[in-house]
Structure 1
Amino acid sequence: MKYSWVILVFFFGINGGKAQNTEFFSAADTFLKTHVENGRVDYASIVKQPLALNSVLKLAEKAAIDLQDPNVYQAFWINTYNLLVIKGVVDNYPLRSPLDVDGFFDKLRYNVGGRYITLNAIENELLRARFPNEPRFHFVLVCAGLGCPPIIGEAYMPNRLNQQLHQQTAKALNDPMFIRNKGDKVFVSQLFDWYKVDFDRAGGILAFINRYRTTKFSKDILLDYYPYDWRLNVK
């Protein structure tokens, strides 16, 4: 009987965790569909009515996410990162840029899954370090600056994650404002420089870009970087 009880607790613990995860993804999806449009966030409305944001982040506090299902793990942390960026802006609103807040990415800590963590730790330790061959993270983790690829008005879902990663990466790399072709030179975001090691693992910056481009660049074209735009992605 003792062993039956242990198995029963284990079974309900797993299924309870799955139900809680489903609730988080559903709440995140509803929140983002309500407050994000065309890559911009309606921070002012969230400041006035913060309950929905705080509620979904409360679910993140109680989450139990592990690496057993990489799609669940990645989707959870991508959504959590984007929601916490919004939380950081809302808590300091109004502001012109996330960089107006000291330590926005590397000092502010948030309770997720029972531990306090920074945005940089989510990006670099929980995602990039554990999935070093996934450079598409850089096109879905949104830093609140206009220089970032745009945030989408929905949550990343485990059962559609690969499709969503592909979609957002292709969208950015075919956007003439993000990849700027000037004759014999292509100007790209500084994020390709900052995270060059990730793109080198994927065959190099140009090869990675061409993988998602409708119109490919010549292998002889010159690459340069344009300055990052840290102005707030406010609606």
Structure 2
Amino acid sequence: MRKITILLVLTLIWVNGFSQDLDAFFNKADAFFKTNVIEGKVAYSKIHSNPEALNAVLKMAESISVSKSDAKNYQAFWINAYNLAVIKGIIDNYPTNSPLDNKGFFDKTTYSLGGKSITLNNIEHKLLRGHFKDARFHFVLVCGALGCPPLISKAYLPKTLDVQLETQTKKAINGAFLRVNTKKKRVEASQIMEWYKEDFTMNGQSEIDFINTYRTEKLDKKFKISYFPYNWKVNKQ
């Protein structure tokens, strides 16, 4: 009986410690984004001059381990970790005109996050898209370029994650992510919809079906879709 009690106490201590570490990470990430992101643009020059806050929040993220079965905490952690790591990658190559100007930015450069040495592509494609079939990830993972949906000035949090995913997706679909020509029944979409077409056509839906799920002014199913070039210029203030 005593062994069971000790085990239970140790488990509670571990769970409480994990919760505190994760909450502390979310709080510090939230403070960082609020300070350094305005209307989707990042204050790279200011961060480069004083990188302590960025380095501190990334240091906290090194040892945090979240199970994918704990879906909301897992997704929120890795979305924030991705966005912070993108900023770190640009700062490490600052000044730079585009993330693509830096070889291996997405697929070679590794970051120590969540107990792993991992690239940005692996976070996006293996840890998030690989485990969860949710096209809304494309509206919250921000690659450091103007072609991305804008970075928000707060952290993604497990308790508000679904609302945040919905909000960012609706903003994009009703905003600059699409260029609609009603007379010609044509819509141009960000190349994101071309590159990840399989995410936007899951479960037998069409791209127009996906758009109409989030768009206030619905498109006729006869609309033809094409794609406009992605703007890879860095999303700096």
Please confirm whether the aligned pair reaches a TM-score higher than 0.5, indicating the same fold.
yes
Alignment correspondent of 2:47: 46
**Is there any run of 5+ residues in structure 2 with no aligned partner, and where?**
none
Query: Pairwise mapping of residues 1-235 of structure 1 onto structure 2 (< 5 A)?
Result: 1-132=2-133, 134-175=134-175, 177-182=176-181, 183-184=183-184, 185-201=186-202, 203-235=205-237
Q: Deviations over 1:174-226 (max 9, x none)?
A: 01x32001342110011101111111105221111111111111110110000
Deviation of the 1:112 alpha carbon: 0.9
Deviation of the 1:7 alpha carbon: 2.3
* In structure 2, C-alpha distance between the alignment counterparts of 1:194 and 1:16, rounded to whole Å: 40
Letter in 2 for 1:100: D
Deviation of the 1:114 alpha carbon: 2.1
* In structure 2, C-alpha distance between the alignment counterparts of 1:62 and 1:136, rounded to whole Å: 27
Letter in 2 for 1:215: E
Deviation of the 1:3 alpha carbon: 3.4
The SS at the match of 1:234 is: coil
* In structure 2, C-alpha distance between the alignment counterparts of 1:204 and 1:79, rounded to whole Å: 29
The SS at the match of 1:124 is: helix
Deviation of the 1:8 alpha carbon: 1.9
TM-score (norm. length: structure 2): 0.96
Root-mean-square deviation (CA, aligned residues, Å) is: 1.0
* In structure 1, C-alpha distance between the alignment counterparts of 2:49 and 2:82, rounded to whole Å: 22
**Which runs of at least 4 in structure 1 moved beyond 3 Å after TM superposition?**
none
* In structure 2, C-alpha distance between the alignment counterparts of 1:179 and 1:98, rounded to whole Å: 23
* In structure 2, C-alpha distance between the alignment counterparts of 1:178 and 1:198, rounded to whole Å: 16
* In structure 1, C-alpha distance between the alignment counterparts of 2:139 and 2:116, rounded to whole Å: 26
More deviation in 194-203 or 45-54? 194-203
* In structure 2, C-alpha distance between the alignment counterparts of 1:204 and 1:112, rounded to whole Å: 36
